[in-house]
């Protein structure tokens, strides 16, 4: 392809959260592919690569004509400031991309840059594209303004950092965009390679399309015709560590479970952490499947084990009654940013809470407030939306937000008709979409059995046992069900279920 007319800097940011900035993808080095595609539209001397100082030995093969920008950290302030220092006075605009985006569309990038130049815009991007499909274009002057908007100079760079900064004062910028022929963002996948869950998608697309130099249109049509491409590894795993609850609540189908239940021992839980971590690399693990996790006699040991994995995120969803100050102190003392605690409070008024939880609201409220008073950032107040508490939803949201607590408003789940429908709210999308739970989630019972999905509370369709079989084999048995669902071929349980559009992580 001919080089784009007009002088611009093509900046490739290789600073990622993962330890390997040169991720291998489909037998190729991801960074090398991204650089090669950049070289097809920009001269070597106009390409800049952002490198961390401690990664210098990994990039000795970069052509000497390509510019290097060295940084000491992954802070967005340092990275953007160093980029500006290197391009000021030399370039009026910057094409900005991450090194793990080897499927970016070269022809659409040309269109993006030309649109930016013609419209004299401050910032131009692709609206409606999957992350990794296109770079961003920003003027040098605008980049300087964005740097001035950064308040926390230690905050890490993210894929959407530029747009996030623009949003702080969005009316002050002239923003332009181009749009794809088809919008498949509802799949919630990325054309990026840093995370395994997305890297496998890139590899599958490269295999199906015969290489990296592909159009975004072909990517969309290939995914649409082959939905199994987007089912890679589980991102969200719910583990049944106990069979007990403090009080029955109307949205947990405890009484409908007829299979044998029990408590998972520490060694079994540790095995699951090892198995799932090795398979998924950076999963979210919830230990609250239809139970109260703090009733497990070894709950502290389980939490300690999970917190020992750098890339694993632990979710504790609790009624909060046993989450007393001593347990809060234990959680805070672990000093982990990968623990998330969700308090099932569900109400504002005492009488409403008592109808749902059978006890006094002051216990979970007190415990949540104590946890956040200790500086814990990953605490959430949750309301499961039902007819009984619907009129308290806005008050609930405003009250906890005012106290600086994250708020989750959760849809009521009747578990495919097992529970009486206690909510008349219907938030289903107009068009049926592929089921997120079948695509991204896994449930593991206390004995290692893996049911079809979280709705299969009695294990009527077991995919396998995590202790007796390779996890990849167990997981792959769900491929056919997912593909059938995407092609409007539903099992009886799937036909009754309205959870398909609820996305966890």
Helix, strand, coil percentages, rounded to 5, for the chain: 40, 15, 45
pLDDT score recorded for residue 22: 87
Domain assignment present for residue 228? The answer is no
Q: CATH number of the domain at 18, please.
A: 3.90.550.10
The CA distance from 305 to 280, in Å, is: 17
Please tell me the distance from the alpha carbon of residue 197 to that of residue 213, in angstroms, as a whole number: 21
DSSP letters, 316-357, are EEE-SSS--HHHHHHHHHT--TTEEEEEE---SSHHHHHHHH
Burial 265-304 (b: 16+ CB within 10 A, else e): eeebbbebbebbbebbbbbbbbbbbbbbbbbbebbeebbe
Tokens of 443: 């449930």
Query: Of 164, 185, 206, which marks where a domain is finished?
Result: 185
Give residues with Cβ within 8 angstroms of 469, minimum separation 6.
none
Regions in the chain scoring below 70 on pLDDT: 1-6, 17-19
Whether residue 431 lies inside any domain: the answer is yes
Candidates 315, 318, 320; CA nearest to 302 is 315
Residue 127 domain-assigned (yes or no): yes
Structure confidence at residue 464 (pLDDT): 98
Could you tell me if residue 209 is inside a domain?
Answer: no
- Listed residues 149, 168, 185: the one ending a domain: 185
Query: In the beta sheet, which residues pair with residue 28?
Result: 25
Domain count, the chain: 2
Judgement on whether residues 156 and 57 belong to the same structural domain of the protein: yes
481 three-state secondary structure: helix
Give the pLDDT score at 6.
57
**The predicted structure's pLDDT at residue 19:** 63
133 and 241 part of one domain: no
The answer to whether residue 29 sits within a structural domain is yes
Whether residues 464 and 340 fall in one domain: yes
**Are both 51 and 180 inside the same structural domain?**
yes
Chain Cα centroid distance, residue 46: 33
Distance CA 218, CA 222 (A): 6
Residues 251 and 151 grouped into a single domain: no
State whether 80 and 163 are in the same domain. yes
pLDDT score at 1: 44
Distance CA 102, CA 94 (A): 18
Backbone angles phi, psi at 330, to 5 degrees: -60, -45
Residue 170 sits in the same domain as residue 270 = no
The verdict on 253 and 374 lying in the same domain is yes
Which segments of 403-442 does DSSP mark as H helices, in order?
436-440
Q: Is residue 200 part of a domain?
A: no
CATH number for the domain that contains residue 292:
3.20.20.70
Domain range holding 136?
A: 9-185
**505 occurs within a structural domain:** no
Same domain, 262 and 406: yes
The SS3 call for residue 482 is helix
pLDDT score, position 388: 97
Same domain flag for 172 and 23: yes
What is the Cα–Cα distance from 62 to 32, expressed in whole angstroms? 9
Residue 177 lies in a domain: yes
One domain for residues 139 and 264 = no
Residue 146 sits in the same domain as residue 16: yes
| pLDDT given for residue 430 in this prediction | 79
3-state SS class at 67: strand
Examine the fold and report which residue of 126, 157, 185 is the final residue of a domain before the chain moves on. Answer: 185
> C-alpha 262: how far from its chain's center?
31
């Amino acid at each position: 392809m001919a080089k784009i007319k007009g002088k611009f800097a093509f900046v490739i940011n290789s600073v990622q959260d993962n330890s390997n900035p040169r991720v291998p993808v489909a037998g190729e080095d991801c960074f090398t592919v991204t650089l090669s595609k950049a070289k097809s539209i920009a001269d070597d001397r106009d390409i800049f690569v952002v490198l961390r100082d401690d990664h210098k030995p990994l990039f000795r093969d970069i052509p000497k004509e390509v510019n290097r920008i060295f940084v000491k950290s992954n802070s967005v302030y340092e990275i953007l400031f160093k980029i500006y220092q290197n391009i000021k006075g030399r370039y009026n605009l910057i094409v900005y991309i991450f090194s793990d985006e080897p499927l970016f569309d070269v022809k659409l990038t040309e269109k993006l840059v030309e649109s930016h130049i013609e419209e004299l815009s401050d910032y131009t991007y692709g609206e409606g594209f999957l992350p990794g499909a296109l770079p961003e274009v920003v003027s040098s002057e605008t980049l300087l303004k964005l740097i001035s908007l950064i308040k926390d100079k230690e905050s890490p760079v993210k894929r959407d950092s530029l747009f996030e900064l623009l949003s702080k004062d969005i009316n002050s910028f002239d923003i332009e965009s181009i749009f794809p022929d088809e919008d498949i963002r509802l799949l919630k996948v990325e054309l990026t390679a840093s995370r395994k869950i997305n890297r496998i998608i890139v590899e599958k697309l490269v295999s199906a399309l015969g290489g990296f130099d592909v159009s975004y249109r072909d990517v969309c049509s290939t995914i649409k015709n082959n939905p199994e491409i987007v089912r890679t590894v589980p991102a969200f795993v719910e583990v049944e560590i106990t069979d007990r609850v403090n009080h029955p609540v109307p949205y947990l189908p405890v009484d409908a479970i007829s299979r044998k239940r029990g408590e998972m021992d520490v060694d079994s839980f540790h095995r699951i952490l090892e198995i799932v971590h090795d398979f998924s690399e950076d999963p979210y693990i919830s230990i609250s499947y239809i139970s109260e996790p703090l009733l497990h006699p070894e709950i502290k040991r389980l939490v300690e084990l999970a917190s020992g994995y750098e890339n694993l995120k632990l979710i504790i969803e609790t009624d909060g009654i046993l989450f007393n100050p001593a347990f809060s102190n234990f959680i805070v003392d672990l000093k982990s940013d990968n623990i998330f605690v969700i308090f099932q409070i569900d109400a504002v008024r005492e009488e409403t809470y008592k109808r749902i939880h059978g006890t006094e609201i002051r216990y979970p409220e007190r415990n949540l407030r104590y946890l956040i008073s200790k500086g814990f950032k990953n605490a959430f107040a949750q309301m499961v939306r039902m007819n009984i508490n619907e009129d308290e939803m806005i008050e609930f949201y405003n009250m906890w937000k005012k106290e600086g607590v994250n708020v989750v408003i959760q849809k009521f789940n009747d578990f495919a008709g097992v529970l009486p429908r206690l909510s008349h709210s219907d938030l289903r999308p107009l068009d049926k979409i592929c089921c997120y739970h079948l695509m991204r989630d896994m449930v593991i019972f206390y004995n290692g059995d893996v049911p079809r999905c979280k709705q299969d509370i009695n294990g009527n369709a077991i995919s396998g046992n995590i202790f007796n079989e390779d996890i990849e084999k167990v997981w792959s048995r769900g491929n056919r069900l997912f593909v059938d669902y995407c092609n409007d071929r539903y099992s009886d349980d799937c036909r009754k279920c309205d959870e398909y559009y609820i996305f966890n992580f």
